[in-house]
Structure 1
Amino acid sequence: MLKINYLSDFLFFKKIMGVNGALIATMTQADEMKKYTDVIFNNIGKNYDLIHSHGCFPLTYHMMKKAAKLKKPILISAHQTHYDIDTLLFSKQISQLFKIFLRRYYKFADIIICPTEHSRRIVKNELRIDKPIKLISNGVNTQVFKHSIKKRIQFRKTHKLNNATVLCVGMPIERKGFYDFIKISKEMNEYPFLWVGKRAFPLIQRDHNYNVNNLIMPGYVKDIIAAYSGGDIFCFPSYYEGEGIAILEAMSCGLPVIIRDLPAYEGRLIDGENCLKARDNKEFIEKIYYLINHPEESKRIANNGINTAKKLDLKETVKSIYEIYLELI
């Protein structure tokens, strides 16, 4: 049986950085991959067949440099680009430095996995990486991410949710549209707005004061299925995503989703079919009201979202990745 060395800086800095999409993809794919291979994490030795990197920071860079000298095959899942940095102070300067670093990092790969066509274009055209690129979704475990009536009742009771609830899941940072979410909630103060997620790197992120009576922020929620089940509409105003794992999770849990109209979603998320798209806060507000006032439309979009999630099931993702492992060995 093959032994795969999964690399991720985020495993070491989970308490500081919180849970992000790259870490979720790493752990869920690794758990499913154990059906096909042995999986180890951040192993600095030589006893493995292939590296699959989900990180992009100095730790994984150093380990891949060592693996390249040993002539070990290297597969990289491209979770990050230089656009992920724009929430930090001095972001323009840091972004350019990160772009240079990423070029060096991705050049270690024998094959790169990108979750969407948009991320592929960034890696190929903006980072100028001339390596084989495979398009494979990060996937969502549709057997785990299911709506639970029992969890919904308990979650809503715990957080005193008595009306249609607008939910978002992610780090409360500018890139994720957190401050827009606050503004939207102020305009719709008759409804509760719930943001689930832990803030990371507080010292180097822009701070913001807010005082909104209908905004609930429980931080990190261990039972994320309960949070998805407790919401009624998933509003995701993020300004940049590689794929948007939280969107797939929300869809799988049966929530209708409203997203910002971004290139990353083209072809997969279709406005008026499996989601609604908005370009600014005004349109987000209009579409939230639309779903609240048109429950049949809300249900139709949610059902289409469930079907979309099933097509991007984690099992199919892992099968495709395993085929790449065999190709590289």
Structure 2
Amino acid sequence: MRILIYSGLMRIVAKSGIGQAMRQQQETLALMNMPSTMDARESYDAVHLNTIFPDSLLICWRAKRQGKKVVYYAHSTMEDFRNSFRGSNVVAPLFKRWITYCYNSGDIIITPTGYSKKLLEGYNLKRPVYSLSNGIDTEFFRPEESARQRFRSKYGLQPGDKAVISVGHYIQRKGITDFVTLAGLLPEYQFYWFGYTNPNLIPREVKQAISRKLPNLHFPGYVDRQELRDAYSGSDLFLFLSHEETEGIVLLEALASQVPVLLRDIPIYAEWLKEGETVYKGRTISEFREKIAAMLERRLPDLTERGYQEVLDNDLKEVGRRLLAIYEKELN
């Protein structure tokens, strides 16, 4: 079996979690010795669709007419579409109808977590829905002293400086305004937000937040995979303030890199990542402020080894084995 990982309009999602998921699908299939291509002009037996743009739907229809199987990766839900770009809340109900139509057009649906699977099963979907992590390359994302030194040297950090990082688009759902607020409340620590979004797409309150001038607040923009690995190794805390996720690839990367993690206490992580066992959680600015200080000053136990053990279940090799089992069951 040869798989097409359809890459149409890749330029739009290349710097997002979806783009990273597509690259990881390539790696996963290679680990399983399964041929793949990203060129729709080449021959293939089944296609992975990772976006819900109209061109992906056209590829779906063409593949079905040719008797080929279609796997829709459901990275998007109405819930995580809200509070993202300008006007997203207004069109969220239409977005739900559109993605439901797209997902129903394939043969099977794969979504990253049991939480997102439960959401999608409430969408009147007519295709089987499987929960399968996007996966994480634990051989690439791991702590390295040389990587730590590169990051700290590049950003001029002194030995005693403590660095807090986050990764994502400049959108409200990712918690960027709270990140800026916390930087203002904790001037003794350095805060770095990695990622970028076109300013024309973000609402006024987010624009105001990222334009705030604080000596300890930094927006390096989008960085490549290697530099992001350095940032994980060089930081002292990964702060993930997202209000809604289907998984959170950057969270997997941080856990694999054995960075202490503080995240927002939201339903997706209620059963998966336990408070005080694998990560720390908060709900309010006050809680986040207190826990950031307690974690950085080592007044709370280090949970990084437990977090690392948890993320090993999502290593690309393990994800590949589960994917093959789905193929054998559904795609013959």
- Which sits farther off after the overlay, 287-296 or 237-246? 287-296
Aligned to 1:121: 118
Distance 1:224 1:9 in 2: 25
Q: Does 1:27 align with 2:23?
A: yes
| 1:165-216 Cα shifts (integer Å, max 9, x gaps) | 11111122211111110001100011100111122x4312213231121011
Aligned to 2:108: 111
Match of 1:140 among 117, 122, 136: 136
SS in structure 2 at match of 1:203: helix
Aligned to 1:75: 71
Mapped contact 2:294–2:300 kept (Cα < 8 A) = no
Distance 1:75 1:323 in 2: 14
Distance 1:304 1:210 in 2: 36
Mapped contact 2:170–2:202 kept (Cα < 8 A) = no
- Which sits farther off after the overlay, 263-272 or 176-185? 263-272
Aligned to 2:288: 284
Aligned to 1:304: 306
SS in structure 1 at match of 2:48: strand
Q: Does 1:261 align with 2:265?
A: yes
What's the offset of the Cα at 1:318? 1.4
Note the 1:221-260 alignment, pairs <5 A.
221-222=223-224, 223-260=227-264
Q: Does 1:40 align with 2:37?
A: yes
- Which sits farther off after the overlay, 228-237 or 58-67? 58-67
Q: TM-score, normalised by structure 2?
A: 0.92
SS in structure 1 at match of 2:199: coil
Mapped contact 2:80–2:246 kept (Cα < 8 A) = no
**Structure 2: segments with no counterpart, 5+ residues:** none
Mapped contact 2:28–2:319 kept (Cα < 8 A) = no
Mapped contact 2:151–2:230 kept (Cα < 8 A) = yes
- Which sits farther off after the overlay, 171-180 or 249-258? 171-180
Mapped contact 2:3–2:44 kept (Cα < 8 A) = yes
SS in structure 2 at match of 1:13: helix
Relative distance call for 1:123 and 1:42 in structure 2 (3 A) is farther
| 1:26-53 Cα shifts (integer Å, max 9, x gaps) | 10121231242211115156x2111111
| 1:93-122 Cα shifts (integer Å, max 9, x gaps) | 221221111011000222211211110111
Taking every aligned residue pair, what percent have the same amino acid on both sides?
31
1:212 aligned partner, one-letter code: L
Mapped contact 1:237–1:259 kept (Cα < 8 A) = yes
Relative distance call for 1:243 and 1:51 in structure 2 (3 A) is same
What's the offset of the Cα at 1:10? 5.2
Mapped contact 1:164–1:232 kept (Cα < 8 A) = yes
Q: Does 1:194 align with 2:196?
A: no
Mapped contact 1:196–1:219 kept (Cα < 8 A) = yes
Relative distance call for 1:8 and 1:271 in structure 2 (3 A) is farther
Distance 1:168 1:232 in 2: 11
Distance 1:116 1:10 in 2: 25
1:146 aligned partner, one-letter code: R
SS in structure 1 at match of 2:200: coil
Q: Does 1:101 align with 2:98?
A: yes
**Structure 1: segments with no counterpart, 5+ residues:** none
Mapped contact 1:148–1:225 kept (Cα < 8 A) = no
Aligned to 2:177: 179
Cα RMSD between the aligned structures? Answer: 1.6
Q: TM-score, normalised by structure 1?
A: 0.92
- Which sits farther off after the overlay, 246-255 or 170-179? 170-179
SS in structure 1 at match of 2:277: coil
Aligned to 1:4: 3
Distance 1:261 1:296 in 2: 18
What's the offset of the Cα at 1:295? 5.8
- Which sits farther off after the overlay, 135-144 or 180-189? 135-144
Distance 1:203 1:292 in 2: 36
1:281 aligned partner, one-letter code: I
SS in structure 1 at match of 2:192: strand
Relative distance call for 1:40 and 1:245 in structure 2 (3 A) is same
Mapped contact 1:221–1:227 kept (Cα < 8 A) = no
Distance 1:254 1:92 in 2: 35
Mapped contact 2:24–2:134 kept (Cα < 8 A) = no
Distance 1:67 1:263 in 2: 36
What's the offset of the Cα at 1:3? 0.9
